[in-house]
Amino acid sequence: MIKKLSIAIIALGIMSCTEAKKEISVVKDEPNEAITQNPVRSILTAEEQAILSPDEIIGRLKNGNENFVSNNLTQRDHSEQRRMAMIGQYPKAIVLSCVDSRVPVEDVFDLGIGDIFVARVAGNIENKDIVGSMEFATAVAGSKVVIVMGHTACGAVKHAIDNTDAAAMEMNALQDLLDEIKPSIALTEPNGEVSSKNEAFTNSVINNNALKTVNDIRATSPKMAQLEKEGKIKIVAAIYDMATGKVKFM
């Protein structure tokens, strides 16, 4: 009986795989109408990167975010962009985001291949490796804006607020990460219950966490702090609102 059942399950599995394959091949054969209209084929060049100021880049990112909010993303020919990107990369910014799957960074700013560097870690905190990546992005690869982008309803921040004992569940690395967020909780006026159920408080911690990360980056990297003083780069905090898709620069 059990054997028969397993055979039936395997057969069902094979059937659904075959059906899925059929669907994929149908999608492949259909030309993507939007792409065939007027897709962006070029990528950012060294010359374009060189003439953009940090404020112009932030302006472009804000415009891109408006496209995302209004569900009007630019169509791109990714195959052509991928080919062009083989000669090098000249991204205009580096974004440090949380790992949250609901924060699709490139889409949020309506960007494609070669446009930005993206670093991701739960709770968008900085560490040496991330600041090293930012030093590469700015001082070596010419990006002029560093954005630390927190987001509403951040699970990492919520667990830090609620003092979740990850170490007790044998997740020592996660515990270390949550502990990194805790100083931002201490920086935040309690304003009611210190709990992730207190949405206003949680949002304030999320804001403070992004702002603190910006300051930590400046403190960790004298090189980037100097580039910022000279007006060559800008290091800013922003918050992505998951409900509206809007990014608010702080």
> Phi and psi for 97 in degrees, rounded to 5?
-120, 165
Residue closer to Zn ion, measured from CB, 72 or 101? 101
* Distance of closest approach, residue 156 Cβ to Zn ion, in angstroms: 5
> Could you tell me if 154 and 100 are in contact, meaning their C-beta atoms sit under 8 angstroms apart?
yes
| Token code pair at residue 145 | 């804006």
DSSP 130-170: HHHHHHIIIIIT---EEEEEEETT-HHHHHHHTT--SGGGT
> Phi and psi for 153 in degrees, rounded to 5?
60, 35
The secondary structure element, H or E, covering residue 217 is helix 199-220
Q: What 3-state class would DSSP assign to 50?
A: helix
* Distance of closest approach, residue 103 Cβ to Zn ion, in angstroms: 7
Residue closer to Zn ion, measured from CB, 81 or 97? 97
Tell how strand 116-120 and strand 93-97 pair up: parallel
> Could you tell me if 180 and 159 are in contact, meaning their C-beta atoms sit under 8 angstroms apart?
no
Residue closer to Zn ion, measured from CB, 119 or 154? 154
* Distance of closest approach, residue 209 Cβ to Zn ion, in angstroms: 10
* Distance of closest approach, residue 122 Cβ to Zn ion, in angstroms: 6
> Phi and psi for 93 in degrees, rounded to 5?
-155, 165
* Distance of closest approach, residue 87 Cβ to Zn ion, in angstroms: 35
> Phi and psi for 240 in degrees, rounded to 5?
-95, 125
Binding stretches for Zn ion (CB under 5 A) = 98, 100, 154, 156
* Distance of closest approach, residue 226 Cβ to Zn ion, in angstroms: 30
* Distance of closest approach, residue 250 Cβ to Zn ion, in angstroms: 17
Report how far residue 173's alpha carbon sits from residue 248's, in angstroms, rounded to the nearest whole number.
30
Report how far residue 130's alpha carbon sits from residue 7's, in angstroms, rounded to the nearest whole number.
49
Residue closer to Zn ion, measured from CB, 98 or 227? 98
Report how far residue 129's alpha carbon sits from residue 118's, in angstroms, rounded to the nearest whole number.
13
Residue closer to Zn ion, measured from CB, 98 or 160? 98
Residue closer to Zn ion, measured from CB, 22 or 102? 102
Residue closer to Zn ion, measured from CB, 26 or 200? 200
